[in-house]
Amino acid sequence: MADDVSRPVTISFIAESAGVSVPTVSKVINGRSGVAAGTRARVEELITRYGYRKTAPAQRSDVLELVFEQLEHQWSIEIIRGVQRVVRGNGLGLVLTEFGPDRSTIRYWIDDTLARRPACVVSVAQLSSGERDQLRARGIPFVVLDPIVELPDDVPFVGATNWSGGRAATRHLIQLGHHRIAMIAGPGHLFDLARLDGYRSALRSAGIEVRDDLIVTTPLTQEHGQVAALQLLNRPDRPTAVFTCNDLQAIGVYQTARALGLRIPGDLSVVGFDDVPIAAMIDPPLTTVHQPLTEMAAAATELALALGRGETPAQPGIELATTLTVRSSTAAPAA
Amino acid sequence: MADDVSRPVTISFIAESAGVSVPTVSKVINGRSGVAAGTRARVEELITRYGYRKTAPAQRSDVLELVFEQLEHQWSIEIIRGVQRVVRGNGLGLVLTEFGPDRSTIRYWIDDTLARRPACVVSVAQLSSGERDQLRARGIPFVVLDPIVELPDDVPFVGATNWSGGRAATRHLIQLGHHRIAMIAGPGHLFDLARLDGYRSALRSAGIEVRDDLIVTTPLTQEHGQVAALQLLNRPDRPTAVFTCNDLQAIGVYQTARALGLRIPGDLSVVGFDDVPIAAMIDPPLTTVHQPLTEMAAAATELALALGRGETPAQPGIELATTLTVRSSTAAPAA
């Protein structure tokens, strides 16, 4: 009976399949408490399996939920602005949640915050498949912004063309005449890998050997960039240029270069990634790959709202183009 | 009749005084549409004059509204984090609104967003007296964070000890041996004036003449700091130290100093104000007055929630202490 999917998927069908009452299923769908964890999981699993959707959504508060893993100084504001622009245009409010470093508030968010029944969710935080199921069970559409892991095909997302960005940054250095180009890579998020592969691809296209000893993998902070740069620049055949996986790492490279008495760009060219506001403020202003965070956030919000209206977007996953912003940290290598 | 304030201030009393129906007053209180602007203003004025407060507030959504004039990269995240910490601890959601540079969304915010009936409002934006009246008329408590203008005594606020911060920054330079200390001041916000007066006070306490030609007043941006520094440093008796009204101006001073071939701190000491994240990242790391934005935001949120519970806080206006963070941009003047 539970496998007879030709039958319309109603709330009673789910209840029957799960062996629970209709009010229990209703509680799960509406994010109410008073359902045992095992029962809740079973009901959610069935809702996901049979694709049950509420045809007449319960009254939702007129808000969109924006969820961050952690609010970061250098780029969260761009995202908030992009989302705000669109929700404002749609007469919605913006509810902001930060899970925090230990994701301690996830349970709170899933159990309590979603009881607000937002029109939709834009998540900069990575949602586990269980968390995505819980949102689906509540009929709340969501879009993942700038995914850091591979997502199943049915998860709508908006990202940036990280591979192309990495390629453009590296090609810029090659065109200036650099051959010994190092990369400080990221710890393995999806976008880190794409940027690194873009670097490799540009080298290969130019007939330059990709040398593993010129690639250092490290977290995306200034401090780690500083240490990685020391490893790269403290060698006899030091690279004449460094491409970093983000701008904070590039600032770390600046510090190490100064400590070693190397001038930028005279002795060392540096290209970052992201184009956070600080990139234009440091000395010399940083050449970097611009990631259109505000536009990405606006696009993710538009997509989430479209899903909330029951529309089926032509493209449930898109990447917006990055562009190289050339400032003063890159030049031809010293003769 | 309307002036008989011994009579309990009820919704019918307000209606009678305004010469309108009770449902009309109710609409105004609950932020609903369908009331002529003139009528709305008259009702709000009466509500403010007689101090009417709803004794049984209508059902409120479990959210706190945080309002910014404009989201700024270098410090808005600190504020959001502080507010978030407290709302999370209270099981509330956080709704974020940005008025935008032209305050174009104020009408939208007052008319539509407040219909969400937030538990309370924390406003980094300056609210006009009319806007404050509208909030009062709706029975929504609010706290102003970091006020930029003088507020009436009955407006709760949380700020920072800006005068003391300006004094500490200047005293630090005096103790290093500087006498010719310039100040790049802000355009006249309340906290700009306090920082400037702190500078003047420290000089006077040390018996150093306050020279108006060493004070340049300019907006709080890097670009304006750069231009102001040119004016100060391009003179024969150039100052040996500069105290700036914020960190962005200090970054502008760095740029001008480099352009003029002046080393920091060898030729010029620089002290900023705010201690935004970038202050520690620039070269040399900036000595600056730390403003505890996260704690200020948390305190403002606690205060707003207390007001929302009907409590009368002992201190409806407080300033949290600033502290001098000494890094590497200050040293004794060259002999």
Nearest Cα residue to A167 out of A271, A275, A254, A267: A271
A196 pLDDT above the threshold of 50: yes
Quote the pLDDT of residue B3. Answer: 42
Quote the pLDDT of residue A161. Answer: 94
Backbone phi and psi for residue B245, each to the nearest 5 degrees, phi listed first: -70, -20
Cβ atoms of A52 and A9 within 8 Å: the answer is: yes
- The amino acid that residue B335 corresponds to is A
For the four alpha carbons of A319, A323, A329 and A330, in that order, the dihedral sign comes to positive
Kindly report the pTM of this predicted structure. Answer: 0.77
Q: How far apart are CA B170 and CA B120, in angstroms?
A: 38
Q: What is the mean pLDDT of residues B254-264?
A: 96
Backbone phi and psi for residue B113, each to the nearest 5 degrees, phi listed first: -65, -40
A30 pLDDT above the threshold of 80: no
Task: Please identify which residue in the block is written with the tokens 């990280």.
Answer: A162
Cβ atoms of A65 and A121 within 8 Å: the answer is: yes
Q: Report the DSSP pairing between strands A181-185 and A215-217.
A: parallel
Beta carbons within 8 Å of A93's beta carbon, 6+ residues apart: A61, A62, A63, A64, A87, B63, B95, B97, B113, B116
pLDDT in tens, B77-131: 999 999 998 998 888 889 998 887 666 666 667 766 677 788 899 999 888 888 8
Q: How far apart are CA A272 and CA A294, in angstroms?
A: 19
Cβ contact (<8 Å) for A278 and B281? yes
Quote the pLDDT of residue B104. Answer: 62
Q: How far apart are CA A157 and CA B161, in angstroms?
A: 45
Cβ contact (<8 Å) for B77 and A81? no
- A72: tokens are 């970061």
Q: How far apart are CA B72 and CA B68, in angstroms?
A: 9
Quote the pLDDT of residue B231. Answer: 97
A17 pLDDT above the threshold of 90: no
Per CATH, the architecture of A63-160+294-320 is what? 3-Layer(aba) Sandwich (3.40)
pLDDT in tens, B191-245: 999 999 999 999 999 999 999 999 999 999 999 999 999 999 999 999 999 999 9
A146 pLDDT above the threshold of 70: yes
A171 pLDDT above the threshold of 90: yes
**What homologous superfamily is domain B162-292 in, according to CATH?**
Response regulator (3.40.50.2300)
What strands, in cross-sheet order, belong to the sheet with B142-145? A317-320, A157-160, A142-145, A120-123, A63-68, A93-98, B93-98, B63-68, B120-123, B142-145, B157-160, B317-320
Quote the pLDDT of residue B60. Answer: 54
Strand partners, B64: B94, B120
Cβ contact (<8 Å) for A61 and B116? yes
A59 pLDDT above the threshold of 70: no
DSSP SS3 for A97: strand
Quote the pLDDT of residue A151. Answer: 87
Instruction: Please give, rounded to a whole number of angstroms, the shortest distance from the CA of B121 to a CA of chain A.
Output: 14
Cβ contact (<8 Å) for A96 and B91? no
pLDDT in tens, A65-105: 999 988 887 789 999 999 998 998 888 889 998 887 666 66
Cβ contact (<8 Å) for B84 and A97? yes
Q: Hey, how many other C-beta atoms are within 10 angstroms of the C-beta on A333?
A: 19
Provide, as residue numbers in chain B, all residues whose Cβ is less than 8 Å from the Cβ of A81. Answer: 71, 98
| Per-position DSSP letters for B243-301, written without gaps between them | EESSHHHHHHHHHHHHHTT--TTTT-EEEEEE--THHHHSSSPPEEEE--HHHHHHHHH
CATH 3.40.50.2300 positions along chain A are: 63-160+294-320, 162-292
Quote the pLDDT of residue B28. Answer: 77
From the CA atom positions of chain B, what is the Rg in Å? 24
- B15: tokens are 């209606």
What is the DSSP-derived secondary structure letter of residue A116? G
pLDDT in tens, A198-216: 999 999 999 999 999 999 9
Quote the pLDDT of residue A19. Answer: 86
Quote the pLDDT of residue A335. Answer: 77
**CA distances to A65, A122, A296, B75 from A78, in Å:** 16, 14, 9, 13
A-B contacts at Cβ under 8 angstroms: 93
Of B61, B96, B277, the CB nearest to A73: B277
A279 pLDDT above the threshold of 60: yes
pLDDT band at residue A8 under the 50/70/90 scheme: low
Cβ atoms of B296 and B122 within 8 Å: the answer is: no
B58 pLDDT above the threshold of 60: no
What strands, in cross-sheet order, belong to the sheet with A287-290? A215-217, A181-185, A241-244, A269-274, A287-290, A323-325
ipTM over 0.85: no
Q: How far apart are CA A126 and CA B159, in angstroms?
A: 36
B154 pLDDT above the threshold of 90: no
Cβ atoms of A309 and A149 within 8 Å: the answer is: no
Provide, as residue numbers in chain B, all residues whose Cβ is less than 8 Å from the Cβ of A62. Answer: 116
Q: Is A209 left (phi over 0), alpha (psi -120 to 50) or beta?
A: beta
A16 by Cβ neighbours in 10 Å (0-12 / 13-18 / 19+) ranks as middle
